[in-house]
Chains A and B, each alone.
Chain A
Amino acid sequence: MLKTFLIGIKDLRIAFRDRAALILMLAAPFVLTLGLGMVTGRFSGNSNNGLADIPVVIVNLDNKELGNALADVFRSEELAELVEPTFSADPEAARLLVDEDKSAAAIIIPAGFTQSIIPSQNAFAPGSPEPAVIPVEIYANPSRPTSSGIIKSIVDEFISRVEEGSLSGQTSILQLMLSGRITPQQAEAAGTAMGQRLQDAPNNDTLAITLNSSTADGKAVQFDVLAYLAPGMALMFLMYTVSYGGRSILAEKTQGTLPRLLVTPTNSAQILGGKVFGIFLTGTAQMLILIGASSLLFQLKWGDALGVIALVLAAVFGATGWGMFITALARTPAQVASVGSAIMLIFGIMGGSFISLDQLPPVVQNFAKITPNSWALDGFTTLGLGGTLADLSTPITALLSMGMILFLISVVLFGKKNLVQK
């Protein structure tokens, strides 16, 4: 175990002394993120993240204060570039648009939604039952997970704000009633007025452009174009790093250090384990440096720290599996380099590093599921939209399974190649 660790550390050190590798591992993704950020207007405040004009259909059956407020959020100037809302009176027609992939999601605001949040005067009468909240329905398009996730986040944020306002409003009204300052008849009018103030409050500017739920301290997190671009680039160049690491396995054979390792009291499993650990360490270091640098220099919020760490580890694990698989198939370090570069680009494009997967054909979207880029990017988008570790079970499970399966195949292939002993 110790030797495995030592071999891994040695590989990490060598990787970070290779200037050419450093350029591709760190400088290239950073510069590309910077460039794409400029192209999309991130640094001029005119953000366009490639997720523009998300089609969403809104059915407002409520037609009261809160239903109208939610519809207005989607009509707001701040979201004009991001979403392209259409309005319908028929829920079935709206769902059909989603089924036909003409819309990323349908938001169906049911009749009585406002009433269920801002209760009538009877609700405050002693002994009256707790009013049941009528939920807003979001009919999401499964083939557009990122876009529908953004729509859901906008609605979640709105609901979260309304619930906060409702709870504090109800508490205040109850206090006023108990103190005798207002009568139950005045309570409904007071509640409506509070709802209206909530809608008109200055911080509703934030509400209107917020794509994410509130953070623990109650401040809203804005969706940032770089929160999509930076992980996309980092993940693409992570594939370079794992192929670089895989190449080092074959390079050790040709440069004579693998045979030399094999005549020390170190067994083959320790050596192979050490090489895998080295790839994993290097990939993790690369991702964490890129995350750290983009946080510091671009003020990029990656989201829940625990979730980011877990996702990075899972993504690097999945990518390392690919690195091992490529190495197991190749005969020479040069072959690993060529195949690795090709896979880096293919996975980068198909995994959504440049273009949101939602904008790619369904065939490509299905193919993308074999790439660590796609799953990890999905996870980073979730985190960027305010998700936490608990929301990452699907991408993390997929990445870990991917890594495990590829490791097993690679070990079998390495065994057949008789890499270590003649």
Chain B
Amino acid sequence: MPNILEVQNLAKNYGDFQAVKGVSFNIEEGEIFSLLGPNGAGKTTTISMLSTLYIPTSGDAIIAGYSITRNPMDVRNAIGVVPQDLALYEDLTAKENLIFWGQMYGLSGKSLANRVDEVLEQIGLTDKAKDRVKTYSGGMKRRVNIGVGLLHKPKLLFMDEPTVGIDPQSRRAILDTVKELNQQGMTLLYTTHYMEEAEELSNRVGIIDHGQLIAIGTQKELTKQVGETETLMLHISENDDPETLVTAFKGIKDVLEANVVNHEVSVITHSAKDVLAQVVTKANERGIKIHSIDIREPNLEAVFLHLTGRALRD
């Protein structure tokens, strides 16, 4: 499939601070591409540049054949944006919001009316269309927020952490909507700091940290970077020093790597069951009580941990 988005060394500085440090990646037509990274990694800044809201310090991106720096208006016609925070007029009804935003995308007359009805149906708010947005629940507002981005049937939809701060049921509905849109042929760039969302939705994932794209590929390709490993997560008392254990565990033959993650100790190994007994023994020898142990299969969290030495939620 041809690329709908080609990002070339895109960078953004705020004074001396480099928010995005020259990222490059492509998105093919029809795929869901996730930018996965912790808060402050540069995801929103990247999307803001791609959607022409922020002017890049350097680099460029081509969206549907148009440069974000040279043809911003053409780019805006080609993309839809669902911002992280709600961006709606709460004193207007859902329908009035959709009509207004549709007009801003150049829709009018019957095509606008039809499209508004379709989107209301799609986000499941036809019955509540004439209620003011301020009377909606958080999840309903999120759905309207998404609906606005869909009105003009964009070729590429940017969704910036659309599930932040909502209940599990609404989150599930949004993830299902994303998959449905993709099945209908829409290409999506989805940012998140939830590993599970990236794993569930994405064809490919870019892992971003401190403004740099540190890995990119399918989930399988990324987890391969960690190898065929398993991760033991040891939860210890707040009063005990996890660094003591890290030092001790690094001496165990089959342990590949040991780190402290949020006062927990992570141990990466080829076989969890082979090192489990030694890990417990080392902890007992140092008088440290282990409250619980999780054994985790390789996943994007492990990849991030492997690449940065930190957990995604840090």
Contact = CB atoms under 8 A, between A and B. Distances in A.
B100 A6 contact: yes
Interface stretch (B87-95, B191-199, B260-268): B87-95
Given A3-B104, A263-B79, A264-B101, A256 B53 contact: no
B32 to A, nearest CB: 20
Given A6-B103, A265-B105, A255 B87 contact: yes
Nearest to B85: A256
Interface residues of A, number: 21
Contact of B89 (A10, A259, A421): A10
B187 interface: no
B85 A14 contact: no
Interface string B39-60: 0000000001001111100000
Contacts of B73: 265, 267
A13 B92 CA distance: 8
A263 B91 contact: no
Contacts of A263: 51-53, 76, 79, 81
A3 B132 CA distance: 23
A260 B148 contact: yes
Nearest to B52: A263
A219 interface: no
A14 B92 CA distance: 7
A264 B91 contact: no
A18 B91 contact: yes
A247 to B, nearest CB: 14
A237 B282 CA distance: 77
B83 interface: yes
B76 to A, nearest CB: 4
A256 B54 contact: no
Nearest to A15: B91
Given A3-B103, A265-B106, A260 B83 contact: yes
A24 interface: no
B54 A14 contact: no
A14 B91 contact: yes
Given A260-B81, A260-B148, A422-B53, A266 B104 contact: yes
Contacts of A265: 73, 76-77, 104-106
Given A6-B103, A10-B100, A266-B104, A256 B92 contact: no
Given A10-B100, A257-B89, A422 B54 contact: yes
A259 B105 contact: no
A190 B89 CA distance: 77
B68 to A, nearest CB: 11
Nearest to B55: A421
Interface in A233-257: 255-257
Given A255-B87, A421-B53, A422-B54, A264 B92 contact: no
Contacts of A261: 104
Nearest to B106: A265
Interface in B79-118: 79, 81, 83, 85-89, 91-92, 96, 100-101, 103-106
A234 B3 CA distance: 59
Given A262-B53, A266-B104, A421-B53, A14 B83 contact: no
A17 B55 CA distance: 36
A263 B52 CA distance: 6
A6 B148 CA distance: 16
B104 A256 contact: no
Interface string A391-422: 00000000000000000000000000000011
A263 B104 CA distance: 10
B55 A10 contact: no
B63 to A, nearest CB: 12
A242 to B, nearest CB: 19
A304 B86 CA distance: 48
A421 B54 contact: yes
A85 to B, nearest CB: 56
Interface in A7-32: 10, 13-14, 17-18
Interface in B16-70: 48, 51-55
Given A3-B103, A10-B100, A264-B101, A259 B76 contact: no
A253 to B, nearest CB: 11
B82 to A, nearest CB: 9
Contact of B87 (A3, A13, A260, A421): A260
A422 B55 CA distance: 6
Contacts of B48: 259, 422
Contacts of A267: 73
Contacts of B77: 265
B64 to A, nearest CB: 13
Contacts of A13: 92, 96
A95 B314 CA distance: 85
A163 to B, nearest CB: 58
Nearest to A6: B103
Nearest to B81: A263
A262 B73 CA distance: 10
Interface in A36-50: none
B306 to A, nearest CB: 34
B92 A10 contact: yes
B80 to A, nearest CB: 9
B49 to A, nearest CB: 10
A265 B104 CA distance: 7
Contacts of A422: 48, 53-55
Nearest to B84: A256
A13 to B, nearest CB: 7
Contacts of B79: 263
A409 B135 CA distance: 39
Given A263-B76, A264-B101, 4 more contacts: A6-B103, A17-B132, A260-B81, A422-B53
Interface of B: 48, 51-55, 73, 76-77, 79, 81, 83, 85-89, 91-92, 96, 100-101, 103-106, 132, 148
Q: What 8 A-B pairs have minimum CB-CB distances, sorted nearest first?
A: A256-B87, A260-B87, A264-B104, A265-B76, A263-B51, A17-B91, A422-B54, A263-B81
17 contacts: A3-B103, A3-B104, A6-B100, A14-B89, A14-B91, A17-B92, A18-B91, A255-B87, A256-B87, A257-B89, A259-B83, A260-B148, A263-B81, A264-B101, A266-B104, A421-B54, A422-B53
